[in-house]
Structure 1
Amino acid sequence: MPHVLIIESNPAERSAGLRRMTGTDYGTLYGDVLKACRGEITTQVCAPYDGDALPDLAGFDAVAFTGSGVDWSTEDARAASLAAAMRTVFAAGLPIFGSCNGMQLAASVLGGRCEASPNGLEQGLARQIALTDAGRSHPMMAGRQDGFAACCIHRDEVSRLPEGAALLATNAHSAVQAFAYERQGVRFWGVQYHPEMSLAFIADLLAGIGRIDKVEAKSLAAADQSAEAAEQQGARPGDLAPDMLRRELLNWARSL
């Protein structure tokens, strides 16, 4: 029975705002989706930005780092508590999954580089994501096909991979859409997008912060049920089915 520690990468105030807009927060959402991926998984949430100390890692089988809505990047000194948590988990040798900010954080901690994308925001759906040769054979990407779409919302991106990392997926907006780092006792899988998010969640979030209007939110939320709405969103309908949207997390949960 895998026990997974979820690192909530938002401070309490931002998590409260998410709950008002969407009915949940990133840490809770992550736990719910992991349990949907593999029913016997149990989870516990820790929030370093709120001063939470890491629990005894000997009681956990894996760790997941959520995305984040903070204003600063993973290169900023204000991310120090989150980076310290990730370094501790790396040292413990536990498998780690990171979404969005979680992937960027791993890149920064492991010696890569993150910064604001010159292409601006990528939000709603990351489109036309292509697998690399390494991605086609990597277990995290099993079931994915070139040109897929995934829920996303991000400003920053990985601009330089850590030495020894394997690039698994890319698109025209952000060259690093997924990477794995599996060496020197570290086992990290990460994606720039959000396999823990549903279309309804990302639509509510974007509408709540004023990034899209009600008409666009309705179309986005319906794209997993309507082929016409999926095509309006520039995605293949099959890529937006719930089990496909969470494919990487499903593969990671099964690997534990």
Structure 2
Amino acid sequence: MSTYTRPFLLLSTRPEDEAAAAELASFLSAMGLPAGAIEQRRLERAPLGRVDLDAYSGVLLGGSPFNNTDASKSRLQLRVEREIGTLVAAIIDRDLPLLGACYGIGAIGTAIGARLSSRYAEDAASIELSLNDAGAADPILAGLPARFSTIVGHKEAVEHLPDAATVLVTGEACPTQMFRVRSNVYATQFHPELTAESLELRLRIYADQGYYDADELESILETAYAADYSWNRRILENFAARYAR
């Protein structure tokens, strides 16, 4: 990172200050970047405004309380979706570095015409996922084993993916866990930035949001703390190493 000159841009939509700060810290830690190497913009606080994509090494899109398939949407959610959708479309058009986690898979999927639904929703949990042949050959997944542990928790997922995308990682309960568009745009349904500690914080913040059964919290955490997420976080390390400028 000695030649690092441009930050990554993290787009966040979490209204809770603690959750937003933790999200930034998680990405910095997983990517092996120093403080200040990621510029966070909180879209729930203010409009995104103009983004000079040439000023950034790449763009990161974190999780969100919003779902693209929500039946009823507030004016805030509609604005956020419009702004993110416009930016994602521009990034895909230029094939610039982008990694969208969880909510990001819906935003990127929507931009390329994927069908989203609740069919493959997953409660918050630590699970194992698998690389397919395309994933094993992808530079962002370089060094990962055929199976690795990660963290999920989402109310919507990709039900059908168009040919414009290449699936890289699959799961049993949710088939499409990671895909690539063109050469440099990536989306994950799972959270490559999280650890057991950051998962616990997030679960306690969102205790009443329907991501898990409250009676199962201790069981979820016990499984999460027993897992090794070093391979999972390697994805963000690889993304930073490949694209940091």
TM-score, structure 2 normalization: 0.80
| CA offsets 1:28-79 (integer angstroms, 9 cap, x no match) | 2355235x52459822122334312133222112111111122543897822
Counterpart of 1:64 in structure 2 is 60
Spell out the pairing of 1:124-143 with structure 2 (5 A cutoff).
124-125=125-126, 127-143=127-143
Structure 2's unaligned 5+ residue stretches are none
What SS class does the counterpart of residue 246 from structure 1 fall into? helix
SS of 2:117 mapped into structure 1: strand
C-alpha distance in 2, partners of 1:15/1:40? Answer: 20
Partner AA of 2:206 in structure 1 = I
The equivalent residue for 2:43 is: 48
Which is further off, 166-175 or 139-148? 139-148
Distance change in 2, residues 1:90/1:71 (3 Å) = closer
Does the CA contact (< 8 Å) of 1:15 and 1:25 recur in 2?
A: no
Q: Post-superposition shift, 1:120?
A: 3.9
User: Equivalents in 1 of 2:97, 2:137: separation in Å?
Assistant: 19
Aligned-partner residue type, residue 148 of structure 2: F
8 Å Cα contact 1:196/1:249 also seen in 2: yes
Q: Which of 7, 26, 33 does residue 3 from structure 1 map onto?
A: 7
Counterpart for residue 106 of structure 1: 108
User: Which one scores higher on RCO, CA 8 angstroms, separation ≥ 6?
Assistant: 2
> In the alignment, is the contact (CA less than 8 A) between 1:200 and 1:220 conserved in 2?
no
Per-residue displacement from partner, 1:160-219 (whole Å, max 9, x unpaired)?
Answer: 223231111111111101111116xxx201211111111111122223333345633652
Change (3 A) 1:41 1:136: farther
Deviation per CA, 1:111-130: give whole Å up to 9, x if none.
222221x24433122x2311
1:197 paired residue number? 194
- After superposition, the Cα gap between the structure-2 partners of 1:164 and 1:93, relative to the gap in structure 1 and judged at 3 Å, is closer
Q: Is the partner of 1:73 in helix, strand or coil?
A: coil
Residue 108 of structure 1, CA deviation: 0.9
Indicate the residue corresponding to 2:148 in structure 1. 148
What's the counterpart of residue 123 of structure 1?
A: 124
The residue aligned with 2:69 is: 73
Secondary structure of the corresponding residue to residue 110 of structure 2: helix
| 1:159 Cα offset (Å) | 1.3
In 1, are the aligned partners of 2:22 and 2:198 still within 8 Å (CA)? no
Give identity over the alignment, percent.
19
Structure 1 partner of 2:234: 247
8 Å Cα contact 1:87/1:109 also seen in 2: yes
1:149-168 alignment to 2 at 5 Å? 149-168=149-168
| Bigger mean CA deviation after superposition, 193-202 or 68-77 | 68-77
Superposed counterparts of 1:169-180, under 5 Å? 169-180=169-180
Deviations 1:58-116 (A, max 9, x none): 21121111111225438978222221221233344421111111122111101222221
Secondary structure of the corresponding residue to residue 158 of structure 1: strand
2:89 aligned counterpart, secondary structure: helix
Cα distance in 1 for residues equivalent to 2:35 and 2:20: 24
The 3 A distance-change label for structure 1 pair 39 and 45 is closer
- Asked whether the 8 Å contact 1:178–1:191 carries over to 2, the reply is yes
Structure 1: runs of 5+ lacking an equivalent = 224-229, 231-236
Point out 4+ residue stretches in structure 1 off by more than 6 angstroms. Answer: 74-77
- The whole-number CA distance in structure 2 between the counterparts of 1:43 and 1:23 is 13
Q: Which amino acid aligns with 2:124?
A: Q
Distance 2:49 2:173 in 1: 36
Letter in 2 for 1:122: D
TM-score scaled by length of structure 1: 0.76
For residues 79-90 of structure 1, the aligned pairs below 5 Å read 79-90=81-92
**In structure 1, which of residues 97, 100, 107 is the aligned counterpart of residue 99 of structure 2?**
97
